[in-house]
Structure 1
């Protein structure tokens, strides 16, 4: 059983990858997508999205990070994958699942689920451009507006050379609305020879085990559930989770990353974003969010979080 940390543009980037992999229990990360559209990207852009490439392709906690590319032109995708491969990433992942309108409007992400033949050509071109020791993997949804081409798209990825396939068990039209249709995954898993990883709507340990049971998939990718509860992977592994006061060291790491890597005008938004997700799991986060929503300075909100965590520490016997 492996636990993957999902990519989520504007949320689960290198800032939170560092924090959440320090929590423990995560076996592999996939970066948020790097868009490829008609040009050969400079190496510095890959480093900006995935600074882990400067450290052997691993987070400070030692968890490998596959780099995800998004695009629809086989030649351009192959050229960029070849350049990325020169930076020796632990793997290259291809995005065929992003539901964002701006991405789909420009022919990328989930829109390609309408054209399995293009998916095959993209995967094959990337696989041929990348050295054999670097795995090429893929991520898809069940379809664009419906699920009529699910198996054709999955076969296109496998036949193109994908080593693994993550399936977000919803269509593009479903967006992120519950439920995730895990019951659709056995047909995909049984039709392919490569490993299939389940993804979508895993918020709790019970969700995790039910996802595995219903989908038949051994491995699961978790996204927002880990953001809301950084100890979720630990709990899935049968270990104690993280109480509110135990998050303090992670908050310090998070704030350091935000201060050094995020422009000041966006820092408050990033702090409130994470705190907003944690409200789902920690009642103390809800209290801090309500008390701190009028604060404009990100540092003040971080201080409020840390004060709350300090106050929540158990009194020694």
Structure 2
């Protein structure tokens, strides 16, 4: 059975998005945005800020488990923070070796560690030793830093370190998020390791999922930008695997989700500019799957008052159904 994971997109997939998308359905697992481990053992409130689900048994309100993701280069400090996260209720620890951010990579973290697979081995080993045996440890990697020469060494280092699972973003750090994702490498990695593996990269719709599945041979997939662009994508993939066809989420339902997101941001007093920025960021991706998104984004991109932005979304929801009907966008 296909296993779907909501990707930990830094600066976008926060607890609110996890709550909304896990409630929409289809996802079996979520991962937090990375917690940057550099100098200290963090206090509980830091973990709760990134993963308030720890106060709910490590699950979203709809019952989907949430792994705590850590990123850093110091093995022992990573282990200490991982161990503490498990005492707070983390159901698993994920290690970020894939972030392509220039700022992160200048500080010996994220994808920069892929240059030397021994780095991965030592960090994974330290985390594995530090956390209880029944707590799974996983890692997310890319195919390499500037090239793919070490892609198998990278995967084997994670396995040798004691991780139970590996997620592979099928591009190098240098390739960033530029198409295509090299799904054929996923098949080669899957054959070279014995631990579980999740494929990631360029899954925007059900057709992409089917192609990635057939090329990679994976049965677990992580979806990031595709799930933000089409919030019901995981549900439609699961239906497809079950032999059913579920129509794409209506435009009115998408707008309702964005308004629900505003409500959740209000709960913990997010600043007005932060709320507006997050809605625009989400709408910018929605343009890829809903034709109305392009027009809506153009109309809201200069709105900074959250009440005005809410009013715009509510107005669009109130339009007659024939004006909300979605029009497919041609493939890019």
Q: Aligned residue for 1:291?
A: 299
1:224-243 aligned at under 5 Å gives the runs 224-238=225-239, 239-243=246-250
Find the residue that maps to 2:62 and give its secondary structure: coil
How far 1:194 sits from its partner (Å)? 0.6
CA shift at 1:213, angstroms?
A: 0.7
Tell me the equivalent position of 1:30.
31
CA distance in structure 2 between the aligned counterparts of 1:83 and 1:124, rounded to whole angstroms: 16
Structure 1 residues 234-283: Cα deviation after superposition (integer angstroms, max 9, x where no partner): 11122343111123442332011222342223221111111111111112
Q: Distance in 2 between matches of 1:208 and 1:302?
A: 33
User: 1:130 is matched with which residue?
Assistant: 131
Partner residue, 1:192: 193
CA contact (8 A) 1:154 1:188 kept: yes
The answer to whether the 8 Å contact 1:33/1:69 transfers is: yes
> Per-residue deviation at 1:88?
1.6
**Maintained 8 Å contact 2:259/2:313:** no
Q: Which residue of 2 aligns with 1:306?
A: 314
Q: 1:163-206: CA deviations, max 9, x gaps?
A: 11000000000000000000111111001001111000110100
Residue pair 1:137, 1:165 contacting (<8 A) in 2 also: yes
Which one of 257, 260, 271 corresponds to residue 263 of structure 1?
A: 271
Runs of 5+ unmatched residues, structure 1: none
2:326 is aligned to none
Q: Is 1:177–2:184 an aligned residue pair? A: no
SS of structure 2 residue aligned to 1:22: helix
Counterpart of 2:171 in 1: which secondary structure?
strand
Q: Secondary structure at the match of 1:177?
A: coil
Distance in 2 (alpha carbons) for counterparts of 1:156 and 1:251:
41
Deviations 1:2-29 (A, max 9, x none): 1110011111121211121121111111
CA–CA separation in structure 2 for the residues paired with 1:97 and 1:303: 38
Root-mean-square deviation (Å): 1.4
Gap change, CA 1:118 and 1:301, over 3 Å in 2: same
In 2: Cα distance, 1:41 partner to 1:289 partner: 38
Q: Does the aligned pair in 2 maintain the 1:30–1:68 contact within 8 Å?
A: yes
Counterpart contact for 2:206–2:233, Cα < 8 Å: yes
CA distance in 2, matches of 1:312, 1:94: 47
- Aligned with 2:114: secondary structure? helix
Q: Distance in 1 between matches of 2:320 and 2:76?
A: 55
1:246 maps to what in 2?
A: 253
Conservation of the 8 A alpha-carbon contact between 1:81 and 1:130: yes
What SS class does the counterpart of residue 237 from structure 1 fall into?
A: helix
Q: TM-score under structure 2 normalisation? A: 0.91
- Show the 5 A alignment for 1:55-74: 55-74=56-75
8 Å contact 1:204–1:232 — kept in the other structure?
yes
Q: Distance in 2 between matches of 1:203 and 1:233?
A: 10
Residue of structure 2 in register with 1:85 after alignment: 86
Q: Work out the number of aligned pairs and report it.
A: 315
TM-score for both structures, normalised by structure 1: 0.96
Deviation of residue 312 (structure 1)? Answer: 4.7
Distance in 1 between the 2:30 and 2:301 partners? 31
The aligned residue for residue 222 of structure 2 is 221
Equivalent in the alignment of 1:97: 98
Higher alpha-carbon deviation: 129-138 or 288-297 = 288-297
